[in-house]
Structure 1
Amino acid sequence: MAYEIKKYDEFKLGDKNVFTKTITETDVIMFAGISGDFNPVHMNEVYAKTTMFQGRIVHGMFIASLLGQAGASFFGGGAIYIGHTQKFTAPVRIGDTISAIVEVTEMIPEKKIIKYRAYCQNQEGKIVVDGEATIKIITQ
């Protein structure tokens, strides 16, 4: 997928982008295979029912990775990712619909740096991942 090349001055405080996906069993299996994370709380319903979650939960890092699409499709091919922080605030279950949201919160013009809130919420509007990230615009 090709991304639009955007310049720093095309962004402003409050700009927002959303990517939404319903999580499937196949997603969880594929993420486990790619990441190597086969924790039974993600993979084994019998085991997961014995935990505080009372059933399987989706990998937190999988959910956080949805922010990559929300950011990449918004900031485009003219940006590089510098860093992020995140907290996992609620479990996600197979069948949940997750919206990954990025929202510009700070701009540093002299360095062409943009800071943004990066969070995911479920179909009920509950935040399941919350954090912030920083990118640098590299286009002229």
Structure 2
Amino acid sequence: MSKIAKVEIPLHVGDTAEFTKTVTETDVYLFGGITADYSQMHFNEEYMKKTMYGTRIVHGILTFAIGCTASTKIQEQVKSPVPSASYGYDRLRFIKPVFFGDTLTCRYTVDRVEEETNKTFSKLEIFNQHGEIVVAAVHILKFFPLEDDK
């Protein structure tokens, strides 16, 4: 069993970062083009007028992806001297629909630091302009040491 090289994790319980973005029709069309997800939910206004939403909605994964920016923002905020990589997300939930033109505020809050595994566990919450939570997840971030010059 290999030993984990320890790093000094630059984040602490309670550290928070936020990121805000208005989701545009262009964002949705570009995301649809990248992923080939052309669901009527996102692209067919007439179809969606007949649904409970009454209009097109933004891809849940696009909303989530916008929120992931907050994990980068918190590392920039603390000027992280060590690299990290996303280890995954737990309990990802799409709670409410996001509509074209909604302004999202993504809040990232460190809940737990595991020094022995070089991981942090943080709450990712995404709110619309009405303060309603639309997406929630727990993000696991794994830090690793820089390699020595060879």
TM-score using structure 2 length: 0.84
The alignment partner of 1:38 has SS state of coil
Shift of 1:133: 1.0
Show the counterpart of 1:40.
Answer: 40
Residues 29-77 of structure 1 show CA distances to partners (whole Å, capped at 9, x for unaligned) of 1010011110011111100111221211000100000122111232357
2:120 counterpart of 1:108 = no
Which shows bigger deviation, 64-73 or 97-106? Answer: 64-73
Between the two proteins, the alignment pairs up a number of residues equal to: 134
| 1-structure distance, mates of 2:8, 2:70 | 17
Show the counterpart of 2:126.
Answer: 120
| 1-structure distance, mates of 2:9, 2:86 | 18
Show the counterpart of 1:56.
Answer: 56
Show the counterpart of 1:3.
Answer: none
> Partner letter of residue 87 of structure 2?
I
Larger radius of gyration: 2
Change (3 A) 1:89 1:8: farther
| 1-structure distance, mates of 2:117, 2:75 | 16
| 1-structure distance, mates of 2:56, 2:129 | 18
How does 1:1-140 map onto structure 2 within 5 Å? 8-75=8-75, 78-85=83-90, 86-139=92-145
Shift of 1:137: 1.1
Shift of 1:101: 1.5
TM-score using structure 1 length: 0.89
Unaligned runs of 5+ in 1: 1-6
| 2-structure distance, mates of 1:31, 1:8 | 36
The alignment partner of 1:136 has SS state of strand
Unaligned runs of 5+ in 2: 1-6, 77-81
The alignment partner of 1:120 has SS state of strand
Shift of 1:9: 3.8
> Partner letter of residue 124 of structure 1?
H
Instruction: Say if 2:9 and 2:143, in contact at 8 Å, map to a contact too.
Output: no
Q: Percent identity?
A: 33
